[in-house]
């Protein structure tokens, strides 16, 4: 276990905005010419999201005040101080179905009126600000104009606005999350991350003599995905940069740093003894002795986070130093850091309240050379792990029924990002699903308690941008979870068919029928999740198949077909669940229990992935859907028609029919007529057995020990009451697949 250094790293701590309430997120910080830090943050309360600010003068915090206008959905602010000492702040602003950039200026006495800084049609997000030595204030942002995501930049000088330039021109990839800094030599640098050749890399461009240099990749290493960069000017020329890294296929995260000049890039990894394998949101600034400090958030046991810091003397690292002495907390911090004119470093981060701390310049100067003991790790090329999908699993399958042709599509309707308790940005989840895991559709379903109005509109925007009908379909959603579970409603993934609709936030006293009514009003569906777990069992009494046409039968949490069913072990390197659901399952809360009540719903598998780089998680559950075409509309038609089945990760083709009616259908049969079940399977692994289940009883088993199955079975003693049939496919290595049922009503 790493030894943490002296907890007195920061001389002063400040808790800002104690009485404001709401959720605090995405802080930004700037230090003015007098050494006064200005902290900005998003304050969110259900449908409202505003940017607030608070400054600290002579060790005393001033009264927090709102900066963004009332009624505007503001998200993820950025701040800078211009050459005249004015404070600039900008934020992404959602209105009229799109995102633009808005901002304000504090001129030393008052805040000027908010104005729109970017007003072009499209989506404009992730603003970053910097002021250079030539009197310019620069704004860079992530822009979408209908064909790919680009990094745009412009500046203001003496009140005159420049034209917008595309900084990322020539990268031939999607570009995200820019950061900007201005050097003492008058140069301006922008760095960002981009998805190129199935890898996230860091790009950089420099502005000198009136033009931007061609972008160059400063993190070429196919073994790492690199993202969310930050930078600070190096007085000897160039910049210091830091970014987050993750190793594909595993659960290891880390942080990298690099000194970047026009001629060279010198990347290093922060050593394992300094940072853990679960870091995020790294930020960087240089102290009074021009040594780079990196601040990051780090995941602790029990889904808790802490904010840590380290410093590099050019040869070795010192640290880690906790920024906050009160230990980890169950939310993501998003720390940021800025240098003051006297050499102090100011750090801001989000807890239940916005927080700030001063790392005193005197303390920094007293660091002894012996403190710098951690050797940097060389930036060596790694061979990326392949996901390993087989040729069979990528084959296109289709079935025909009643004159219609339905194509088989594979997807995952349950994923989390850093917007709640996941570990990567939204676009990472979509890009990996499309280009690495070869999925056809994906839904992001972050926890509703974490999804503010700004985050919800961001989810819809990124989902819209990355949706490509016919190639890859993205769906916006969220998980109604912890607060609903306490109300006896369990956990459900809410999936929307388009980019409109509101999130159904929990309010005190709400019941499950009220949630389902809200979902129906917004044209969504609700998919119950880990239905048999002790802390969130499903409520069959209030189950409404009209808005809950499918149920998650398997995920990373286990299998929920029937009480006591076998399950697929989790990969060894994944953290064990806090409570094993098979030790404390809730009887009566499994899929078969719902069917036995006469409820009619189909099944899917979906992962509940919080670590979307983990190949092991991706092999735990999948949703299979028969739809006419790969569009949102046709997928939703398939969900509602229950033309779905679930697997524990293997892409097995399964065609299950009863009297030629496909899975999900219901039909009426005259008493005395025969019932014939037909099963066709093509699997990438060995199928050991196929079970035909009628009314929760296995009425026929077929031993196979092969990859292809095609047989028919006649039910010699069909029930005389309404009944249902489904198939259970048992494969090698603890893999399973389940069809949705076919229901028979007798007349």
Return the bridge partners of 605, or none: 554
- pLDDT tens per residue across span 164-200: 999 998 888 999 999 999 988 889 999 999 999 889 9
Could you give the CA distance from residue 567 to residue 261 in angstroms, rounded to a whole number? 54
Q: What tens digit of pLDDT does each residue of 101-155 get? A: 999 999 999 999 999 999 899 999 999 999 999 999 999 999 999 888 999 999 9
Identify the DSSP state of 256: E
Residue 536's SS3 state is coil
Distance from C-alpha of 422 to C-alpha of 251, rounded to nearest angstrom:
12
> What span, in angstroms and rounded, lies between the C-alpha atoms of 385 and 388?
9
Q: Which residue has the tokens 């490509």?
A: 468
pLDDT digits (tens, 9 = 90+) for 538-596: 889 889 999 999 999 999 989 999 999 988 887 665 555 544 544 567 889 999 999 99
Q: Is the model's pLDDT at 269 over the cut of 60?
A: yes
CA–CA separation, 293 vs 289, rounded Å? 11
**Cα–Cα distance, 686 to 700 (Å, whole number):** 19
* Beta bridge mates, 41: 52
- Let me know how long the chain is: 747
pLDDT at 51: 96
- The encoded tokens of residue 239 equal 């910049």
**What is the tens place of the pLDDT at every residue in 620-668?**
999 999 999 999 999 999 999 999 999 999 999 999 999 999 999 999 9
Predicted TM-score of the model (pTM): 0.94
- Packing angle, helices 453-466 and 426-435, rounded to 10: 30
Q: Which residue has tokens 């084959």?
A: 395
Task: For residue 300, give Cα distances in angstroms to 8, 17, 327, 412, 683.
Answer: 21, 26, 10, 27, 40
Residue pair 643/661 in contact (Cβ under 8 Å)? The answer is no
Percent helix, strand and coil across the chain, each rounded to 5?
A: 10, 45, 45
**478-507: pLDDT as tens digits:** 999 866 666 667 899 999 999 988 998 877
Of all residues in the chain, the percent with pLDDT exceeding 90 is 63
- β-strand partners of 302: none
Query: What gap in Å lies between CA 67 and CA 198, rounded to an integer?
Result: 39
Give the span between the Cα atoms of 744 and 747, in whole angstroms.
10
Band (300; pLDDT cuts 50, 70, 90): confident
pLDDT at 342 over 60: yes
635's tokens = 């997928």
Give the pLDDT confidence of 202-244 residue by residue, as tens digits. Answer: 999 999 889 999 999 999 777 789 999 999 999 888 999 999 9
* Confidence at residue 622, expressed as pLDDT on a 0 to 100 scale: 96
Q: How far is CA 448 from the centre of its chain?
A: 13
- Alpha-carbon 304 to chain mean position: 17
pLDDT tier at 391, thresholds 50, 70, 90: very low
**Cα–Cα distance measured from residue 393 to residue 578, given in angstroms and rounded to the nearest whole number:** 33
Q: Using DSSP bridges, classify how beta strands 742-746 and 666-669 pair: parallel, antiparallel or unpaired.
A: parallel
- Residue found by looking up tokens 């005040």 in the block: 65
- ∠ CA(446), CA(451), CA(453), 5° rounding? 140
Confidence of residue 2 (pLDDT cuts 50, 70, 90): low
Burial class (CB in 10 A: 0-12, 13-18, 19+), 203: buried
| Cβ atoms < 10 Å from Cβ of 131 | 22
Distance in angstroms (rounded) separating the CA atoms of residues 735 and 733 = 6
Mean pLDDT, residues 44-66 taken together: 91
Q: Cβ(296)–Cβ(305) under 8 Å?
A: no
Q: So what's the pLDDT on residue 574?
A: 59
530 sits in the region (left: phi over 0; alpha: psi -120 to 50; else beta) called: left
Cα of 82 vs its chain's centroid, Å = 34
Radius of gyration of the chain (CA): 27
d(CA 539, CA 512): 8
* Model pLDDT, residue 581: 44
Closest CA relative to residue 448, chosen from 495, 488, 411, 412: 495
Structure tokens at 133: 């030595």
- Dihedral sign for Cα 497, 498, 501, 506, please: positive
Query: Is the CA virtual torsion 171, 176, 181, 182 positive or negative?
Result: positive
pLDDT category at 325 given cuts 50, 70, 90 is low
Q: Identify any residues that bridge with 321 across adjacent strands, giving them in sequence order.
A: 309
Determine the Cα–Cα distance for residues 324 and 230; give it in Å rounded to an integer: 21
The whole-angstrom separation of Cα 76 and Cα 455 is: 10
- Nearest-angstrom CA–CA distance, 207 and 166: 12
Q: Which of 221, 280, 283, 216 is nearest to 248 (CA)?
A: 221
- Three-class DSSP category at 154: strand
pLDDT of 389 reads 62
Output the average pLDDT for the chain: 89
Decide: 177 and 193 in contact? Cβ < 8 Å.
yes
Helix or strand holding residue 427 (H, E): helix 426-435
With residue 609 as reference, give the H or E element that holds it. Answer: none
Give Cα 575 to chain centroid, integer Å: 19
């Amino acid at each position: 276990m790493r030894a943490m250094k002296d907890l007195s790293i920061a001389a002063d701590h400040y808790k800002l905005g104690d009485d404001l309430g709401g959720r605090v997120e995405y802080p930004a910080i700037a230090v003015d010419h007098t050494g006064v830090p200005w902290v900005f943050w998003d304050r969110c309360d259900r449908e409202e999201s505003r940017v607030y600010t608070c400054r600290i003068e002579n060790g005393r915090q001033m009264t927090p005040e709102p900066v963004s206008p009332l009624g505007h959905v503001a998200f993820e602010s950025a701040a800078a101080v211009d050459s005249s000492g004015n404070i600039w702040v900008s934020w992404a602003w959602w209105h009229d179905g799109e995102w633009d950039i808005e901002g304000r200026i504090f001129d030393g006495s008052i805040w000027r009126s908010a104005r729109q800084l970017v007003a072009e049609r499209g989506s404009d997000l992730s603003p970053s600000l910097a002021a250079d030595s030539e009197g310019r204030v620069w704004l860079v942002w992530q822009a979408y104009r209908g064909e790919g995501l680009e990094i745009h930049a412009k500046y203001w000088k003496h009140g005159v606005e420049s034209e917008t330039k595309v900084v990322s021109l020539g990268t031939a990839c999607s570009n995200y999350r820019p950061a900007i800094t201005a050097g003492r030599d008058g140069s301006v640098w922008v760095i960002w991350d981009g998805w190129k050749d199935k890898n996230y890399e860091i790009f950089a461009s420099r502005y000198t003599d009136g033009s931007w240099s061609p972008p160059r990749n400063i993190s070429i290493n196919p073994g790492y995905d690199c993202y969310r960069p930050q930078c600070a000017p190096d007085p000897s020329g160039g910049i210091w940069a830091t970014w987050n890294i993750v190793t594909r296929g595993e659960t290891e995260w880390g942080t990298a740093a690099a000194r970047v000049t026009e001629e060279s890039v010198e990347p290093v990894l922060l050593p394992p003894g300094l940072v853990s394998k679960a870091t995020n949101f790294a930020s960087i600034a240089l102290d009074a002795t021009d040594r780079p400090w990196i601040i990051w958030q780090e995941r602790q046991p029990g889904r808790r986070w802490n904010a840590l810091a380290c410093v590099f003397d050019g040869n070795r690292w010192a640290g880690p130093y906790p920024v906050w002495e009160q230990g980890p907390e169950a939310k993501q911090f998003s720390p940021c850091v800025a240098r003051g004119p006297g050499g102090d470093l100011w750090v801001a981060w989000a807890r239940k309240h916005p927080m700030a701390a001063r790392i005193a310049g005197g303390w920094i100067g007293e660091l002894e050379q012996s403190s710098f003991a951690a050797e940097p790790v060389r930036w060596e090329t790694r061979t990326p792990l392949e996901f390993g999908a087989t040729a069979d699993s990528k084959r296109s399958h289709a079935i025909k029924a009643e004159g219609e042709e339905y194509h088989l599509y594979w997807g995952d309707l349950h994923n989390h990002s850093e917007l709640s308790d996941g570990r990567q940005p939204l676009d990472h989840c979509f890009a990996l699903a499309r280009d690495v895991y070869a999925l056809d559709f994906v839904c992001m379903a972050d926890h509703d308690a974490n999804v503010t109005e700004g985050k919800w509109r961001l989810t819809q925007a990124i989902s819209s941008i990355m949706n490509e009908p016919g190639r890859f379909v993205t769906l916006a959603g969220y998980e109604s979870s912890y607060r609903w579970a306490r109300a006896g409603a369990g956990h459900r993934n809410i999936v929307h068919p388009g980019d409109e609709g509101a999130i159904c936030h929990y309010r005190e006293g709400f019941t499950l029928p009220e949630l389902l009514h809200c979902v129906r009003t917004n044209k969504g569906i609700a998919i119950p999740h880990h239905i048999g777990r002790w802390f969130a069992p499903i409520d069959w009494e209030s189950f409404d198949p009209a808005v809950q046409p499918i149920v998650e039968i398997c995920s990373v949490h286990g299998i929920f077909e029937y009480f006591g069913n076998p399950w697929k072990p989790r990969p060894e390197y994944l953290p064990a669940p806090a409570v094993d659901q098979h030790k404390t399952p809730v009887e009566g809360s499994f899929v078969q229990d719902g069917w036995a009540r006469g409820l009619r719903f189909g099944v899917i598998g979906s992962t509940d992935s919080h670590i979307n780089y983990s190949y092991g998680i991706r092999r735990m559950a999948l949703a299979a859907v028969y739809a006419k075409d790969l569009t949102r509309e046709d997928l939703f038609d398939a969900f509602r028609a229950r033309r779905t089945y679930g697997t524990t990760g293997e892409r097995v083709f399964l065609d299950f029919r009863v009297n030629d009616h496909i899975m999900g259908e219901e039909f009426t049969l005259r008493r005395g007529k025969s019932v014939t079940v037909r099963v066709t399977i093509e699997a990438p692994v060995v199928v050991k057995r196929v079970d035909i289940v009628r009314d929760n009883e296995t009425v026929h088993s077929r031993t196979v020990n092969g990859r292809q199955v095609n047989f028919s079975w006649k039910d010699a003693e069909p029930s005389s009451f309404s009944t249902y049939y489904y198939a259970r496919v048992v494969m090698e290595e603890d893999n399973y697949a389940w069809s949705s049922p076919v229901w028979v009503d007798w007349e």
